[in-house]
């Protein structure tokens, strides 16, 4: 199978939600996931571009990507441990 972009295993749709709800939803979904799982949050709140990476850093997860298109941020993290 060719190497290429991988789809995240999980997506949290937080479009239309304001801070801190995108991070709260992301944290709830990340809880108990096995290390290495990629998790993306879709958010329209511009604060998510700062809040999600800060949450990942504080919890020991890895920020994989953060992109914006048409007002929607897609921020992907890789879970590094299960005790979020």
Rounded alpha-carbon distances, angstroms, from residue 18 to 11, 50, 60, 79: 17, 13, 24, 23
Nearest of 61, 28, 23, 27 to residue 45 by alpha carbon: 23
Active-site option among 11, 19, 66, 72: 19
Residue 71 three-state SS: coil
Active site annotation includes 19: yes
Contact 52, 18 (CB under 8 A): no
Return the active site residues.
Answer: 19
């Amino acid at each position: 199978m060719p190497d290429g972009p991988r789809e995240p295993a999980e997506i949290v749709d937080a479009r239309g939600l304001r801070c801190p709800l995108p991070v709260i939803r992301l944290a709830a979904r990340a809880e108990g996931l096995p290390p290495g799982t990629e998790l993306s949050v879709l958010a329209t709140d511009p604060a998510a571009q700062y809040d999600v990476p800060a949450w990942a850093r504080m919890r020991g997860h890895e920020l994989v990507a953060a992109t914006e298109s048409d007002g929607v941020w897609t921020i992907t993290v890789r879970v590094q441990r299960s005790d979020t």
